[in-house]
């Protein structure tokens, strides 16, 4: 264990990347970066981190922002509950904790949007406290190193990894060790084509010695995505306005804004159906034109998106000035469309 820890740390000091969130390890910066990086690659996360910190430099400024502003900063990044929870936690800290980020592991774990991984990351990265930060990288590195053949997502595997890492804290700083393991997983011990020849743990890795790198960690197969058919109607109202609605169900894109939506089981929808639906909102459309079809793939869903366009003289509270549409956070398929509408 001592040898492994030493080799990891030495490697890390020489090869670690110069990433923006590593410059100043304040709890706020660690927190924001870790939430952004959940299920997100570093390359993509960088842009969002810098913009986000610029927009909301500290927890109080984040707390004072509106949910729409926070979601706008998150637009295009996905998993929007991360942004909603981030905002809720900022408000909680600002209003109930005098703006001071909690220091106890148990307190941190109770904050919305923070689970075991992120709590461990904050404890170790910000304060060098001995709590493992077990993410996909850590699971991959440790299961290969010790040839752990149980599936990576199991609780028993998690506990096994946790205890092995805690042993290494006897010989290293938790902050550096946690960072080193994750960095190794990202740069060397990658899911496919790991660079074993340049790995600092080349001599210790049991999976490599037994030629089983490819089978570890064990993963589970996933189900095929559900097909959905979404018909969106861009409705332009009087005085350069446009209809938008906020998604508020337990479904994808919760909190974001889209054009008027009708969901059907079928790929095709009749103009009559469109008119009948609009009538329910008291909207009487002019001619409805078909604009564009596209497929948008999510992990668990394949979305068949149909975009229509129409005008109306009817009034409705959901009409906003076209010039303001750029202020509203919208799902990826509509980002470009919203940008064009202002012109």
| Site for DNA, rule CB under 7 A | 19, 21-22, 33-34, 37-44, 76-81, 85, 111-119, 121, 135-137, 140, 153-156, 182-183, 185-186, 191-193, 219, 221-223, 250-254, 296-301, 331-333
Which of 131/319 has CB closer to DNA? 131
Query: Dihedrals φ, ψ of 149, to 5°?
Result: -100, 0
Which of 57/115 has CB closer to DNA? 115
Minimum gap (Å) between residue 256 Cβ and DNA: 8
Which of 77/168 has CB closer to DNA? 77
Catalytic positions, written as ranges: 34
Minimum gap (Å) between residue 279 Cβ and DNA: 28
| Alpha-carbon gap, residue 335 to 333, rounded angstroms | 6
User: Helix, strand or coil for residue 102?
Assistant: coil
Minimum gap (Å) between residue 91 Cβ and DNA: 15
10 Å Cβ neighbour count for 138?
Answer: 22
Which of 75/283 has CB closer to DNA? 75
| Alpha-carbon gap, residue 64 to 140, rounded angstroms | 39
Is 139 buried (19+), middle (13-18) or exposed (0-12) by CB count in 10 A? buried
Query: Dihedrals φ, ψ of 120, to 5°?
Result: -65, -40
| Alpha-carbon gap, residue 100 to 92, rounded angstroms | 10
Which of 2/251 has CB closer to DNA? 251
Minimum gap (Å) between residue 154 Cβ and DNA: 5
SS3 content of the chain, % helix, strand, coil (to 5): 50, 15, 35
Minimum gap (Å) between residue 255 Cβ and DNA: 9
Angle at 159 between CA 156 and CA 163, to 5 degrees: 145
Minimum gap (Å) between residue 125 Cβ and DNA: 8
For residue 319, the 8-state DSSP code is: E
Minimum gap (Å) between residue 23 Cβ and DNA: 12
Distance from chain centroid for Cα 146: 30
Residue reference for tokens 């990351």: 121
10 Å Cβ neighbour count for 128?
Answer: 14
For residue 76, the 8-state DSSP code is: T
User: Helix, strand or coil for residue 186?
Assistant: helix
Element (H, E) at 213: none
Which of 68/254 has CB closer to DNA? 254
Which of 142/283 has CB closer to DNA? 142
| Alpha-carbon gap, residue 227 to 231, rounded angstroms | 13
Distance from chain centroid for Cα 179: 20
């Amino acid at each position: 264990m001592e040898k492994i820890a030493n080799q990891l740390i030495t490697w890390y000091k020489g090869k670690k990347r110069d990433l923006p969130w590593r410059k100043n390890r304040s709890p706020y910066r660690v927190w924001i970066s870790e939430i952004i990086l959940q299920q997100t690659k570093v390359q993509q996360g960088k842009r969002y981190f810098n913009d986000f910190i610029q927009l909301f430099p500290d927890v109080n400024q984040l707390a004072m922002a509106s949910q729409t502003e926070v979601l706008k900063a998150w637009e295009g990044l996905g998993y929007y509950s991360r942004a909603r929870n981030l905002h809720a936690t900022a408000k909680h800290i600002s209003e109930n904790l005098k703006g001071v980020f909690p220091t106890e592991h148990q307190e941190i774990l109770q904050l919305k949007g923070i689970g075991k991984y992120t709590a461990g990351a904050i404890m170790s990265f910000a304060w060098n406290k001995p709590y493992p930060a077990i993410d996909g990288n850590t699971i991959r590195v440790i299961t290969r190193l010790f040839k752990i053949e149980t599936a990576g997502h199991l609780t028993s595997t998690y506990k096994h990894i946790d205890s092995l890492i805690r042993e290494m804290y006897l010989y290293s700083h938790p902050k550096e060790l946690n960072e080193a393991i994750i960095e190794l997983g990202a740069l060397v011990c990658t899911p496919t084509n790991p660079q074993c020849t340049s790995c600092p743990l080349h001599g210790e890795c049991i999976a490599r010695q037994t030629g089983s790198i490819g089978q570890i960690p064990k993963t589970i197969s996933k189900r095929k995505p559900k097909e959905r058919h979404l018909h969106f109607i861009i409705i332009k109202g009087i005085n350069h306005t446009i209809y938008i609605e906020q998604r508020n169900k337990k479904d994808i894109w919760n909190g974001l804004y889209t054009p008027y939506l009708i969901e059907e089981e079928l790929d095709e929808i009749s103009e009559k159906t469109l008119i009948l639906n609009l009538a329910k909102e008291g909207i009487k459309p002019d001619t409805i034109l078909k604009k564009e079809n596209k497929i948008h793939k999510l992990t668990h869903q394949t979305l068949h998106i149909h975009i229509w366009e129409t005008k109306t003289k009817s009034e409705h509270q959901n009409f906003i000035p076209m010039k303001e549409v750029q202020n509203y956070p919208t799902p990826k398929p509509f980002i470009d469309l919203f940008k064009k509408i202002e012109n």
